[in-house]
């Protein structure tokens, strides 16, 4: 963005236009549905990368240089998520990657708080899978508009109508077909675009930014009968049925998160990808207002504001720092700007913000609502922190979830206690794990949502902090954050239950329940005490 004219102080019109042309979205999918492949093709269309293969290649070079990433490689999953910005058709696209594995769903949840829309990729052969269901639930909580891509139609797939029915019944969102597949597998001929009334002819891997696909206008065009004599009668029948029985696309319902436009294609063949970009630009919302404790913040407000939704350490071994990912919510961010870190009440001057153009680190000169900037973090920034100019605005809706899995941490070498503390504190700030320090002393207890998180923590403690930690089972089943307005009752509660109480990394009191039954009983016994299953950051 450094070369864009926006770098100068923009006029009001240019400011509004800069916001209008931004789209910030995430791809959600079950592992293996084709998220990485599609990401790559989107970047390719955006001109952000020259050759397909770069995303994967980069992934593996990272594996080779960073030990904890080896876990990813061994298990064939993507642990880290990142941000990519590129331009397409005069729009600025911010694509936020999400970890596919369910053990990192908390991380994914937070990424989804920072987007304005989502692209759901479904493997046409497998239909709706477990992780898709979970991710969609999160999107539904916020009524995030969703575009659906039925992928891998170059393979034998499920019946398209069946796939749409499954999305409707399992995910509870209405489908509006926009394109419709003509055949599948070896006999995949292309798609019919219901709104444009034209057939896009499938040619494996043909379409590029410069080279458009062959397109035949009109369902009654005799050229189609000549080319696809076997398929056309069935297609016409299907289209007639679709026009009569399926939901027509409604922009209003889409923006309300109640209807998803459905596209068919094949990511690996670049087929159907341009249509997805078109939908993003034409239909997906530009940056939306964001809630704070006081009021909603509009993207076109002049003063800067934003929140941190993710912290990542040591992304690049050559820069051994931590980066806080901030979503800009309003105003015009400029390099060197002074912004207030609300939780700490201190002004910081942002000299070296980072953006992720084509996955390269570059300095950001300026940014607008919807953009993500990376702030160098030396330990003072936590997930959920808000930054603004002037008015104190605390953004909401970025929660921690009560962990479901717990381990007691023991050191192999007791002299390393300090390093362990430092490592755990930093990993907790990043949201890699939750750390609880029992009030009665003793070893720290780690909490996680997915078991793989413990492996990552152990590996990172070893490689980044030179600490060998042993994780033992512990009889804790769930945690609740404690709140009580009455100080006397709180003191009594604390005295009575000291052996089950701990402080988290943010020094908040939490009740570590040995069992569900115990939790229920305790809650019943202390009606004045509130037991929170989630807690907001900051
Ligand atoms: P992710 O786990 O969702 O990121 O999935 P990937 O993008 O890594 O894809 C998983 C596998 O599916 C890889 O082997 C891809 O080459 C393959 N794949 C992705 N898209 C397509 C497609 O359109 N057709 C076919 N046949 N394979 C695909």
ipTM, 2 dp: 0.99
Res 36: pLDDT: 86
Question: Is residue 270 lining ligand 1, measured as CB closer than 6 Å?
Answer: no
The rounded distance, in Å, linking the Cα atoms of 432 and 427 is 5
SS3 of residue 190 by DSSP: strand
209 Cα to the center of ligand 1, angstroms: 21
Distance (Å) of CA 152 to CA 23, 127, 155, 185, 235:
25, 11, 6, 8, 19
122 Cα to the center of ligand 1, angstroms: 11
Q: Which residue's CA lies nearest to atom 16 of ligand 1?
A: 268
pTM of the model: 0.82
69 Cα to the center of ligand 1, angstroms: 21
Q: Dihedral of CA 419/424/430/436: which sign? A: negative
Question: Is residue 28 lining ligand 1, measured as CB closer than 6 Å?
Answer: no
269-299 pLDDT, tens per residue? 989 999 999 999 999 999 999 999 999 999 9
Q: Which residue's CA lies nearest to atom 17 of ligand 1?
A: 34
203 Cα to the center of ligand 1, angstroms: 17
Is 132 one of the annotated binding-site residues?
no
Question: Which range, 58-67, 131-140, 175-184, 379-388, is most confident?
Answer: 175-184
Question: Is residue 125 lining ligand 1, measured as CB closer than 6 Å?
Answer: no
The Cβ of residue 320 has, within 10 Å, a number of other Cβ atoms equal to: 10
Asked if the model's pLDDT at residue 116 lies above 60, the reply is yes
152 Cα to the center of ligand 1, angstroms: 8
- From 268, 269, 272, 276, give the residue whose CB has the most ligand 1 atoms within 8 Å, as the site to mutate: 268
How would you label 48-68 residue by residue, b for 16+ Cβ within 10 Å and e otherwise?
A: bbeebebbeeeeeebbeebeb
Region class of 465: left (phi > 0), else alpha (psi between -120 and 50), else beta: alpha
267 Cα to the center of ligand 1, angstroms: 7
Q: Which residue's CA lies nearest to atom 25 of ligand 1?
A: 152
Query: What is the separation, in whole angstroms, between the first and last Cα of the chain?
Result: 31
215-269 pLDDT, tens per residue? 999 999 999 999 999 999 999 999 999 999 999 999 999 999 999 999 999 999 9
Structure tokens at 132: 């898709």
Is 332 one of the annotated binding-site residues?
no
Average of pLDDT values for 392-409? 87
């Amino acid at each position: 963005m450094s070369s864009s004219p926006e770098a100068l102080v923009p006029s009001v019109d240019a400011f509004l236009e800069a916001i209008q042309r931004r789209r910030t979205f995430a791809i959600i999918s079950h592992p293996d549905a084709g998220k990485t492949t599609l990401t790559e093709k989107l970047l390719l269309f955006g001109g952000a990368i020259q050759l397909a293969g770069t995303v994967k290649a980069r992934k593996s070079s990272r594996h080779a240089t960073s030990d904890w990433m080896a876990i990813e490689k061994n298990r064939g999953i993507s642990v880290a998520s990142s941000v990519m910005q590129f331009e397409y058709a005069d729009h600025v696209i911010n694509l936020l990657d999400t970890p596919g594995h369910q053990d990192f769903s908390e991380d994914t949840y937070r990424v989804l708080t920072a987007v304005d829309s989502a692209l759901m990729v479904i493997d046409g052969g497998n239909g709706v899978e477990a992780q898709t269901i979970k991710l969609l639930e999160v999107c539904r909580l916020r009524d995030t508009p969703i575009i659906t891509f039925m992928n891998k139609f170059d393979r034998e797939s499920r019946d398209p109508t069946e796939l749409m029915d499954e999305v409707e019944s399992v995910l509870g969102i209405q489908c509006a077909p926009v394109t419709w597949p003509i055949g599948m597998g070896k006999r995949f001929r292309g798609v019919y675009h219901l709104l444009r009334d034209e057939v896009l002819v499938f040619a494996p891997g043909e379409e590029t930014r410069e080279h458009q696909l062959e397109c035949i206008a009109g369902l009654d065009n005799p050229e189609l009968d000549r080319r696809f004599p076997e398929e056309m009668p069935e297609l016409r029948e299907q289209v007639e049925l679709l026009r009569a029985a399926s939901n027509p696309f409604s922009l209003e319902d889409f923006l309300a998160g109640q209807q998803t436009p459905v596209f068919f294609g094949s990511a690996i063949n670049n087929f159907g990808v341009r249509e997805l970009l078109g939908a993003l630009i034409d239909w997906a919302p530009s940056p939306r207002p964001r809630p704070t404790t006081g009021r909603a913040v509009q993207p076109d407000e002049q003063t800067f504001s934003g929140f941190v939704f993710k912290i990542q350490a040591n992304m690049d071994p050559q820069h051994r720092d931590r980066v806080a990912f901030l979503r800009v919510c309003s105003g015009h961010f400029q390099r060197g700007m002074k912004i207030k870190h609300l939780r700490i009440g201190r002004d910081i001057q942002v000299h070296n913000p980072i953006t992720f153009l084509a996955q390269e680190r570059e300095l950001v000169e300026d940014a607008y609502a919807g953009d993500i900037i990376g702030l160098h973090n030396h330990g003072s920034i936590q997930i959920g922190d808000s930054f603004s100019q002037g008015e104190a605005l605390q953004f909401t809706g970025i929660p921690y979830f009560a962990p479901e899995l717990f381990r007691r941490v023991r050191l192999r070498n007791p002299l390393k206690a300090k390093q362990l503390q430092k490592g755990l504190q930093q990993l907790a700030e990043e949201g890699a794990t939750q750390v609880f320090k029992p009030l009665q002393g003793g070893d720290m207890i780690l909490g996680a949502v997915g078991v793989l998180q413990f492996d990552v923590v152990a590996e990172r403690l070893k490689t980044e902090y030179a600490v060998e930690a042993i994780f033992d089972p512990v009889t804790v089943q769930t945690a609740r954050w404690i709140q009580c307005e009455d100080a006397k009752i709180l003191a009594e509660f604390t005295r009575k239950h000291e052996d089950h109480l701990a402080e988290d990394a943010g020094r908040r009191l939490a009740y570590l329940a040995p069992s569900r039954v115990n939790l229920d009983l305790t809650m019943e016994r202390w009606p004045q005490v509130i037991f929170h299953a989630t807690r907001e950051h900051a």
